[in-house]
Structure 1
Amino acid sequence: GAQIFIDGWAMVAPGDPELAADLAKRAASVSHDGEAIYGAQAIAAMKAQAFVEPDLNKLIDTAVRLIPANSVISRMIQDIRDWHSKESDWHKARESLADRYGYHKYGGNCHMVPNHGLIIFSLLYGDDDFQKSLMVVNTSGWDTDCNSGNVGCLLGIKNGLAGLQAGPDFRGPVADRLYLATADGGRAISAAVTETLHLVNAGRRLAGREPLALKHGAQFHFDLPGSVQGFQPEDSIETQGTVTVENVIGHSGSGSRSLALHYVGLAQGRVARVATPTFIPSAEVADYFDRRGYSLYASPRLYPGQTVYARVVADQNNEQAVRCKLYGRPYAANDELGYSSGPEVVLAAGHDCTLEWAIDNPDLSPIACIGLEINGDGGTGGTVYLDYLRWGGTPNVHFDRPDHGGLMWKRAWVNGLDHADRLTQMDFYPEPYRLLQNHGRGLMIQGTREWTDYQASARLTPHMCRAGGIGVRAQGMQRYYAMLVDQETTRLVRTLGNDTVLAETNVGWCFGRPYELTLRIIGNQLVGLINSEPVIEAADPDHTFEGGGIALICEEGRIGCDSVRVR
């Protein structure tokens, strides 16, 4: 754990291995000590220095300089370098590594020492080649996924896109798509480019620089070379073989690149559609992760009440005009994907326009993807460029049990309560949500950090619980504002690891009775209502949370929830 989670520390400290090693040590010390920390520091330092130093042996020198010379990690690195200088066959050298530092000497669940050795080993025997290095580290066994991640990250930093593209197409099949393990569910369905900018801007803040906002902060900007940000052709009967995507230079009003959609054979019943995920893409994907033991917790990124914008440009050599519109795939009956779309616009060759779609159905189930549809007649072929796609606005959405059944509407909640499977994988209680918490405080969270000023309402019925309520601007299990009610009081709290009480009043609730709780936030001002009557208000002088989703909260007991509204 100490070693696999250090990539970010290097990326926010480019060219500063001392800072990267310090950040890695502080983070690793939460759960590790000794050699685990040294290994984390060594890899973090190498990656930070790789931004400015192309020589692998000098990177290793940097790593060993920052850890104790008498440590196991330092001695092992020296042994591996000695074997590499004397033995050209990596298979034989791997036997030496296993004999001296293998799992039989460092037991437990994926001990860090042997796997750190394989990282250094694979970098040396990989001849600075991305594909060969990954082949060596995977073929060598042990903790293959983590080791591959560390090796690939370092070579990606050191050799850039040219090194990544020197062999097979590693980028195309993935299409930048990324699932992020976080309780901040609006960030879970992500893309490599999105997380790149998060890391870049974290590093810029550390360096005292202003953050980047490519194409004025559009969620999808395509302004980095080769990036498609999750956009792929839709695989349906009417769309198969009609379109390909490619990142190209130009055709942008505020940036330098765009996403080219090359379409062919458009006719009645044959359309071109490309889309990117905004939520778990299918019930099958959710079930797959459950079976693997790593449930995919995520919230949708896009909601009813928000408006989607996209600038499109028709290539000047197109022979015919086409009809373009935005579309989405909300979940429908039996968790199959439905279809919803915005207004259609005719786009002639050489022209551009900004598509706009206000998603106005508050009862719409989670939207699995957002994309662009192109229609034409008579076997139309050509190219349309997608400059950017973005959305904004306050959500206006009802989180109730849908008439069409299914369970993906429940999977839209990041569930930090006890008995999580009963809440998100089953639906047999009379109320849509039954909050169960054995010890302490539990939360169910939905929404994104793009939500800023809004109000959340929930109809709650407390049953033998210590307290309960609703939260706003939730950014995870320990970052939110909340209105908490017990039998005697109502409190407004700011939770950042620990609770800070912003206001308290002697208004409580009775078990077994339903209450409509509403929490409104505008700027740093919070107002709490019970059954439509204002009962408490406060301000956060520190403006701690600028945005975030909603939370349903239960402390030690059971609470029924009949309906949830955000607007």
Structure 2
Amino acid sequence: MIPNRYVETVYASFIGMNVGIRLGAPIEPVAWTYERIRDVYGDIRDYVKPYRTFAADDDANGPVFFIRALYDDANGRELTAEDVGRAWLNYAREGVGMFWWGGDDISTEHRAYVNLRNGIPAPASGSIETNGLEMAEQIGGQIFIDSWGLLFPGDPEKAADWAEKAASVSHDGNGLHGARFMAACIAAAFEASSIEEIVSEGLRQIPDSSTYAAVVNAVRTFHRDHPDDWAACRQLLEDEWGYDKYGGVCHIIPNAGVCALALLYGGGDFARTVEIASMCGWDTDCNAGNVGSILGVFAGLKGIPAHYRAPINDFIVASSVSGYLNLVDFPTFAKELALLGYRVNGEEAPAGLADSFKPGEVEFDFSLPGSTHGFRTSQPFKTPVVRHSARRALQPGGGSLEVVFDRLVAGDSSNIYWKPFYRREEFNDEKYKPTFAPLAVSGQTVSASVYVDQWEGEPIVLTPYARNSATKEELLLEPCSPENGEWNELSFVLPDTDGALIDEIGWKLESPSPLTDRAIGSLYLGSFRVSGAAAYTIDFAKQAKEFGSVTPFAHHRGRWELEGDALAYRAESDALSLSGNYYERDVAVEAFVRPLEGTSHLLAVRAQGVMRQYLAGFDGPGSVSFIKQDFGATRLITAAYAWEPGREYRMRLIAEGDAFALQIDGQTVLECRDDSFGHGMFGFGCLEGGASEIRHVAVRAGAAKGRP
């Protein structure tokens, strides 16, 4: 049975996982050894690096994207390894992202991906028989399983079973035991009264005779005899279970020992557990992330210290082919995962939860304790406090985002804003090459409920704005003065940015107060929403190549470059470039396309990944086709059309319900009906090698309200 406060606990676990990942990531081997971590950072009690925005990490990508198998294939039936393998192929871009962290054929994940691409299905793709014992028993078996544990609260066996299926895409042997152990621990933590109980339940889900069970039991025995000396236990692992005894890049057995050590010596304290996991060395981000998930469930939100939670700010980026899904808002993801939990357990979700999760729309209600949804302010001196508050709420038991403004006078300002799009400048490093599609674009409506509790000074003024990502110009709209002491409903339409993207939306907070009566008080944001039809253009002269991709697209295969005002690509085989709202239903995409080489030049709509989409355009000499790509291409209709290489064509692909139309230079050349894909991204690509240039992209879309 789904427990009370399920969404909140899932939320705490996801925060806990990402705190651990962020804490451990800067001190990963091989540069950072246990001794070097100890000598440089000592007794770690906080993050060791102040990331501007934490870049994509493979440990978080897996829990976010492998569950999409439950939407795409295993909807209404038991999960299989093959379902998860298809998710691997559909959401990963070849050559970049979480499977390429070590380069070609270094990581187990890369080997499994290549196996899948070569037609070796899961679970053979991850088996010992296919890949050998050493490769199959690396750490990846346990680091991508967090979501499976959260889907089955209080049911460790079911969590372990599904985690094993998912892990078998890439791992085997002790790799699968690690998946079962970690997922079972997460599921058990919902009901357990002690860490020892959690570890015992994890062990019950794996063979007693396994090496994995042996290392965990060795740690348990040492902990019973030496309960206050985690460093001595770590030395035991080095001596008897270390990397010198288990080959590969990061074998699961030594790291399993670290996870068990951190859990037991952490004693149920969230911070100490992730800190010990990080200080032990070896695969620091993976280990701290795993135990962070478990302790997030066990300790709850109240157990996660503010100094670890605040920098996360409810947001991470991921690295998949969907730039839209790569922008991960924690409360929204927690609701999505909880809804899946109700579904797979055969229970009906509460109406309020179902109504609050709206795929394709930005919908923030600040209902989860401590939630901030990634909001920021530009001037901390004038807005020194940005925090979740339970003092004001639109609904009983809810909350809001409180922004304290401090002694504003005429000429002072601070922006209160949220970022629907990110640029490279927001990050410290290039990890996993994330790509982004904007969550808010021109033509959409921003609406919010705002409460003002002003104590002194002249009334504040809120001026809506959107920032042009290319020029950084703040496009100011009509200002307003919200009423003090009551909820105000505010809304504005995002302006046209003439081919650039919008990377900030919010309000400029000001007051005309004099020095003798400065404005001070609190502003509460009770809800925030971006919705409605979108109408925007993409001018490639105003885009940039960042993280290896041209904004705002994610490229799969081929070489994609900016050449003046054009997106130019050259491919030796099939290639695809995608952007837009993953949940968009009705859409019209227009672009000027100049085919240069080859005979395949296509527009894409309703793309649900690299393996699932509709394509239409030039398809062979003198012909056009409408094609359904679903792990293989099917031409639904082909017609004669005398197109020529080197000539530029205005191509427009329209999707309305199950009806599709391709227009070239204003003439409808293809019409087709199909209902296989009800929503998805847009983009460009080819089914065989060639080259092309794309200019002046225009997107007009209806309100995206589809549910996965």
**Comparing 168-177 with 153-162, which one deviates more in the overlay?**
168-177
1:514 matched to which residue of 2?
648
- Give the Cα separation in 2 of the matches to 1:461 and 1:55: 65
Partner of 1:486: 619
CA drift of 1:323 comes to 1.5
Seen in structure 2, the aligned counterparts of structure 1 residues 28 and 472 have a Cα distance that, compared at 3 Å, is: same
Correspondence for 2:164: 25
Aligned counterpart in structure 2 of residue 459 of structure 1, from 592, 596, 601: 592
Q: 1:157 to 1:376 in 2, by over 3 A?
A: same
CA shift for structure 1 position 141: 0.3
Q: Secondary structure at the match of 1:224?
A: coil
Task: Write the mapping of 1:205-244 to structure 2, written as runs, cut at 5 A.
Answer: 205-208=343-346, 209-210=348-349, 212-214=354-356, 219-235=363-379, 240-244=381-385
Q: Distance in 1 between matches of 2:486 and 2:465?
A: 21
Structure-2 change in CA distance of 1:252 and 1:215 (3 Å): farther
Aligned to 2:283: 143
Is the counterpart of residue 312 in structure 1 residue 312 in structure 2?
no
Q: 1:284 — aligned with what?
A: 425
C-alpha distance 327-464 of structure 1, shift in aligned 2 (>3 A): same
Following TM superposition, the consecutive aligned residue runs of length 4 or more in structure 1 with deviations greater than 6 angstroms are none
CA contact (8 A) 1:176 1:191 kept: yes
Is contact 1:272-1:375 (8 Å) kept? Answer: yes
Q: 2:412 aligns with which of 270, 279, 294?
A: 270
Cα distance, 1:261 vs. partner? Answer: 1.6
1:176 aligns to what?
314
Say which of 235, 239, 253 aligns to 1:113.
253
User: Match for residue 550 of structure 1?
Assistant: 682
Which secondary structure does the structure 1 equivalent of 2:299 belong to?
A: helix
RMSD of aligned C-alpha atoms? 2.3
Q: Secondary structure at the match of 2:436?
A: coil
Cα distance change of structure 1 residues 460 and 120 upon mapping to structure 2, 3 Å threshold? same
Task: Select which of 629, 633, 649 maps to 1:499.
Answer: 633
Q: Residues 181-200 of structure 1 correspond to what in structure 2 (within 5 A)?
A: 181-200=319-338
* Letter aligned with residue 262 of structure 1: V
Alpha-carbon distance, 1:330 to partner:
1.8
CA distance in structure 2 between the aligned counterparts of 1:430 and 1:509, rounded to whole angstroms: 24
| Equivalent position to 2:665, from 517, 531, 543 | 531
Whole-angstrom CA distance in 2 between matches of 1:482 and 1:202: 30
Per-residue deviation, 1:46? 0.9
Q: 1:128 to 1:253 in 2, by over 3 A?
A: closer
Normalized against structure 2, the TM-score is what?
Answer: 0.73
Query: Contact (CA 8 Å) 2:215, 2:256: kept in 1 or not?
Result: no
Shift of 1:43: 0.3
Call closer, same or farther: CA 1:250–1:484 in 2, change over 3 Å.
Answer: farther
- Aligned residue pairs, count: 545
| Mapped partners of 2:268, 2:616: distance in 1 | 55
Q: What corresponds to 2:215 in structure 1?
A: 76
CA deviations over 1:139-181 (Å, ceiling 9, x no partner): 110000111111111100111012113xx52112222121122
Matched, 1:45 2:184: yes
Structure 2 residue matching 1:99: 3-state secondary structure: helix
Are the counterparts in 2 of residues 279 and 298 from structure 1 also a CA contact under 8 Å? Answer: yes
Question: Residue 173 of structure 2 aligns with which residue?
Answer: 34
| Structure with higher helix content | 2
Aligned equivalents of 1:316 and 1:275: distance in 2?
20
1:98 aligns with 2:238: yes
Q: TM-score, normalised by structure 1?
A: 0.90
CA shift digits 1:58-82 (9 cap, x unpaired): 2222222222222211122221211
- 2:386 pairs with one of 245, 255, 268: 245
**Residue number in structure 2 paired with 1:443:** 576
**2: CA distance between counterparts of 1:520 and 1:254?**
41
Name whichever structure is richer in strand by fraction: 1
Aligned residues of 1:480 and 1:545 also touching (Cα < 8 A): no
- Please tell me the residue identity of whatever aligns with 2:487: D
Q: Is the 8 A contact 1:266 1:272 kept in 2?
A: no
Which residue identity is paired with 1:219? E
Larger mean Cα displacement after TM superposition, 369-378 or 486-495: 486-495
Q: Matched residues in 2 for 1:3 and 1:107: separation?
A: 17
What is the CA–CA distance in structure 2 between the aligned matches of 1:525 and 1:13, rounded to whole Å? Answer: 39
SS of match in other structure, 2:143: coil
Q: Please give the alpha-carbon distance, in whole angstroms, between the structure 1 residues aligned to 2:256 and 2:204.
A: 16
Amino acid at match of 2:220: R
Shift of the 31–52 alpha-carbon distance from structure 1 to 2, 3 Å rule, reads: same
Q: What's 2:470 paired with?
A: 332
Measure the CA separation in 1 of the matches of 2:658 and 2:237.
57
Q: Which moved more, 1:314-323 or 1:146-155?
A: 314-323
Give, in whole Å, the separation in 1 of the partners of 2:456 and 2:407. Answer: 13
Tell me the equivalent position of 1:371. Answer: 506
**Can you give the 5+ residue segments of structure 1 that lack an aligned partner in the other structure?**
none
Tell whether the 8 Å contact from 1:469 to 1:517 is kept in structure 2 after alignment.
Answer: no
- The structure-2 alpha-carbon separation of the partners of 1:503 and 1:59, relative to structure 1 and needing over 3 Å to count, comes to farther
- 1-structure distance, mates of 2:372, 2:297: 20
The answer for the alignment partner of 2:494 in structure 1 is 359
| Alpha-carbon shift at residue 117 of structure 1 (Å) | 1.5
Report the identity percentage: 29
Match of 1:541 in 2: 675
**How far did residue 452 of structure 1 move?**
2.3
Q: C-alpha displacement at 1:406, in angstroms?
A: 5.5
| Secondary structure of residue in 2 paired with 1:104 | helix
Give the 5 Å matches for 1:467-478: 467-478=600-611
In structure 1, C-alpha distance between the alignment counterparts of 2:634 and 2:368, rounded to whole Å: 42
* In structure 1, C-alpha distance between the alignment counterparts of 2:432 and 2:362, rounded to whole Å: 31
Instruction: Provide the rounded CA distance (Å) in 1 between the counterparts of 2:625 and 2:617.
Output: 5
Q: What is the match of residue 270 of structure 2?
A: 130
Query: SS of the residue aligned with 1:70?
Result: coil
